[in-house]
Structure 1
């Protein structure tokens, strides 16, 4: 009976229309939000990577200026000692190698020059002597992990510097020295009789101070579970986000190397450093954000739907159902001979007003007929 009532028949079309509108609007806004969330994630990554690239560039530029100044000082002090030449075989750090001689003074295990330069310019300094196709540190204040001087170690034969030295060319840039990145300068040392084949190498360098970079990367986060990481030239993880849900170094390395299909992974080279920036976030973060937005939109839609239905119900009750209910009572009482009613709905200008006026006329006709019948029966 309830399903066939007038109120249900009037409200159901409105309810269906509002629900369809809410669903369509929710779907449309959810699709728009999906694009918006992805765009926000991409913009967030771009802002952070640009800031990091700028920090890397400024750090490298400032440190290269210091490196050039220190190199000029090392070369000046070295040349003041005298001409360079290769000496006999010596033992440095437990290894046999050629000696490097400046002005007749052996430089093997002689740290006066390198320590004097770094006392003024700070950083590190080294003298390499050529030994076949290798270049061996015969005097240095670069330290190994145990704190001892790294004499007897050789310039990385597979590194980016040694091809330049073998060609007699200078090199300035970021180099990994014994596992630590340095902003460095390398220039070949020539004898007076041969300006083509280097007999040794001047070196100065500064251990990179990446504390500011580390702090920026540590605080970086992409969506809820994304991260930003920095890998060095040997693919070693140097820095990574520590504020998001993904902060485990082993997991970050696996994602960066394997680029799983359920993650969005972007990689950028850091010019002049040999480093790479990796930004990544799981696709599930986007889906969660879309779901939250959809639920919020749907909830607002349902509230609006309830308000519209409440307003519609009030209008239907006051403008339709209540007048009809009163007219129904009048008609029922009229059918049992009660006709002394006041029908206010006759003032309405709509269809209900027409019905009220018809019932009023019927009531009047019945009352007149009954009065005549009563007179005749006397």
Structure 2
């Protein structure tokens, strides 16, 4: 070997060694990178599986959520028709005392008619809960236990999300376990008249879990991987069929490092979907898919070794094409996996040039391989797992590939579909020329609804997207179609639209649709110069039907009535149900009012015709109010209100008739309504005052009590007497809060007088509407409890004779309940009503007050004197105290004392005075001297 050869040999080996290292390391580095990418793809696939399974629950919730809201509205409407919610004592359910929930006066325990009526119309389940402490107890329900009995008396899950929301006064809408089964539910708080939560409304639909069950059972990730669905308590609800439950529980609990778990949460259910698979299987697949890269690396290594040996054979350095140290550095960096471009150049045909070229191609190959692998993996995953059906055709529109969703939607297998055109497989069956036009137009994209036919012959609606794929020459190479079955969605949408605009019971238009048609009819009437009648009516005798035969019979009557009334109207007319037994009718294109009244006569005759319900003949009638446009040229809502007002006037006139709206009567009604609103506003504005009129014992000459009389300190009109405002509100609900205010103010004044050394009993007048409230005694007890310094016997409640005999049994029961509290009662204005010994005997009152109209005129009217004398004797015989009102002169007192009446009040003794003047008046009071003489 020459000296030159000896010098060159170490340099060649220094060059050769890094290259050999590169050949050894590069394949493993590339394999590792490829394997890592494959592991990411497998994890993404598992995550997609979890999301797909979670999506099944979301679809179930979305499909049922709207129906649950509609059922809740219907349940509340039916409940409101029964009356206001309240608690009336306690009852026993399954041997346990629970609060007695009533709607109106009807206890709801073990009374399933309300919930059964709602679910009979809209399906699902319904329940009324009563709140007992922190628990909510089912008092009426159509949920069933495992033995088939109703689940009355069972508790709402105390640890569930629904009860947590109800305790905070919030609505809960979501999924909850009920008696061990998942339901899509809605819970609304149930309030009493004071705004307190006393229970809850519930509607729910049992979740159909079969699709999810089957999907989870058939899920397999790799060879040993599996899927599970955990409920909100961590229990396994569903699991892949090929994995033992015990093994899955152990893996989920221990979470070994050799297993990968992908978790997808469903907040509305509280569920979790977990897809787990062994990492070893994923790595094995990654290594198996890297053989192409290893083969490419082996071929490249062979090429490099050939080039190196060829250079060694020549034993020269020049062909290297660069400094040996620099070439060595480049090779070392390639061996380390650094394929980045660094600006190096070499003489063409040299080893360095080949190495640099090889590095560039290797870099480009790596980028291409990575992009292709990612793209192919993603495309394949999307294609196979897409919910939408996908088909690909060639340029001649023959199908060359479909995905699994295509088969599940159309029924055609891949083998049956390939080679056929979409039209041959039932696409766009509604239009035979659809695809011919589409192919001819060569549009880049088309989307819209089509009607297709499955292999079974069933027609279904689909949303179809078709777009064109072009090659490099811009010629059409393929068509791609994506479609989804929207049949159920369209049907659901149509059902929701119908429910939004129609009454669920009678299927008549509801208030919303009526309003829309009214606006359209008004516009047409204005253009055509024709008359339009707006009619409003309800049934005169409908409530007794519900009370005697039940709400189901009432509903059946309304359904028959709706069908009967449709036959009385023209196609252009509209009849709508507004709620309960209230209806509205639009009579369009009328030439004169006589045409309207003829139609109303037909409607009344149809309503009067007897109905046959449950083998019983039922007679009802109706009161109809109507107004005519443009004679009444008002806004749409005002026209309906005018018709409503006319209907009430028809009722006042005796019912079973129609009445045309009267503008003057409406003006008076508005005036009365505005006055009532001012009266009601006076209470929160602090405008009411109590004046006090003394009651004296004429025989003993001392003051024994005061009667509290309300006055209104009007900000503009000054002090107004009770006769000026009480008649307008005594039959309204406002009489209740106003009565409670009077009682509370009287109790406060009694306490103030006691502190000042004045011990007087105070009488308070109670309106009939207030007295007849079911919770009157309970509310009175609460007021007395709030004033512990006032003895209950210092309060006397006065009721009128007329109010008492309207419901003598109920009034007597209320009086007895209040007397247990220590309160006494007086019968006011006695003698002006339908007085009878029976009423007097049955009413447990202590005091009878003779009406002032008899006392005032008894000095010059013998009949009035006889009445007064008789009432005094009657009271004495029945052992009742008697008080004479209207004592205006001392002579009145003398005659009363002679007849045996010692207690009196009236202007002859004192006019009503403010509370601050009472103490001084009592100290200064002196009885008339003639009274002392009459007692001798």
Tell me whether the two structures share a fold, i.e. TM-score over 0.5: yes
Q: Tell me the CA shift for residue 286 of structure 1.
A: 2.0
Q: Tell me the CA shift for residue 106 of structure 1.
A: 1.3
Shift of the 81–180 alpha-carbon distance from structure 1 to 2, 3 Å rule, reads same
In structure 1, the gaps of 5 or more residues are: 1-18, 313-378
Match of 1:12 in 2: none
Q: Tell me the CA shift for residue 294 of structure 1.
A: 5.9
1:259 aligns with 2:244: no
Could you tell which deviates more after superposition, 19-28 or 273-282?
A: 19-28
What does residue range 289-368 of structure 1 map to in structure 2 within 5 Å?
289-293=285-289
1:242-300 CA distance string (max 9 Å, x none): 35xxx112211222232111111222321211111112111111233245446787789
1:82 aligns with 2:79: no
Q: Which residue of 247, 252, 275 corresponds with 2:271?
A: 275
1:93 aligns with 2:94: yes
Tell me if structure 1 keeps the 8 A contact 2:229–2:237. yes
1:134 aligns with 2:130: no
Shift of the 21–219 alpha-carbon distance from structure 1 to 2, 3 Å rule, reads farther
In 2, the alpha carbon distance for the partners of 1:166 and 1:293 equals 58
Tell me if structure 1 keeps the 8 A contact 2:228–2:240. yes
| 3-state SS of 1:234 partner | coil
| 3-state SS of 1:152 partner | coil
Tell me if structure 1 keeps the 8 A contact 2:51–2:264. no
Shift of the 22–213 alpha-carbon distance from structure 1 to 2, 3 Å rule, reads farther
Q: Tell me the CA shift for residue 138 of structure 1.
A: 0.7
Tell me if structure 2 keeps the 8 A contact 1:26–1:294. no
Match of 1:32 in 2: 33
In 2, the alpha carbon distance for the partners of 1:221 and 1:30 equals 26
Q: Tell me the CA shift for residue 155 of structure 1.
A: 1.5
In 1, the alpha carbon distance for the partners of 2:134 and 2:247 equals 41
In 2, the alpha carbon distance for the partners of 1:298 and 1:242 equals 38
Could you tell which deviates more after superposition, 170-179 or 143-152?
A: 143-152
Q: Tell me the CA shift for residue 101 of structure 1.
A: 0.8
Q: Tell me the CA shift for residue 93 of structure 1.
A: 3.4
1:149 aligns with 2:150: yes
1:327-361 CA distance string (max 9 Å, x none): xxxxxxxxxxxxxxxxxxxxxxxxxxxxxxxxxxx
Match of 1:178 in 2: 179
* TM-score using structure 1 length: 0.68
What does residue range 10-89 of structure 1 map to in structure 2 within 5 Å?
26-89=27-90
1:85-127 CA distance string (max 9 Å, x none): 1133222234331221112111111111111111111111111
In 2, the alpha carbon distance for the partners of 1:292 and 1:275 equals 36
What does residue range 152-163 of structure 1 map to in structure 2 within 5 Å?
152-163=153-164
Shift of the 73–21 alpha-carbon distance from structure 1 to 2, 3 Å rule, reads same
Tell me if structure 1 keeps the 8 A contact 2:88–2:101. yes
1:55-95 CA distance string (max 9 Å, x none): 22222122111110110111111111111111332222343
| 3-state SS of 2:161 partner | coil
Match of 1:284 in 2: 280
1:163-182 CA distance string (max 9 Å, x none): 32223222111111122111
Tell me if structure 2 keeps the 8 A contact 1:256–1:278. no
Could you tell which deviates more after superposition, 138-147 or 85-94?
A: 85-94
| 3-state SS of 1:161 partner | helix
In 2, the alpha carbon distance for the partners of 1:148 and 1:257 equals 38
In 1, the alpha carbon distance for the partners of 2:292 and 2:250 equals 35
Match of 1:224 in 2: 223
**Cα RMSD after superposing both structures:** 3.0
What does residue range 180-199 of structure 1 map to in structure 2 within 5 Å?
180-192=181-193, 194-195=194-195, 197-199=196-198
* TM-score using structure 2 length: 0.29
Match of 1:211 in 2: 210
1:169 aligns with 2:165: no
In 1, the alpha carbon distance for the partners of 2:268 and 2:39 equals 30
Match of 1:241 in 2: 240
Tell me if structure 1 keeps the 8 A contact 2:142–2:151. yes
In 2, the alpha carbon distance for the partners of 1:173 and 1:294 equals 48
Name the structure, 1 or 2, with higher relative contact order (CA <8 Å, separation 6+): 1
Tell me if structure 2 keeps the 8 A contact 1:140–1:149. yes
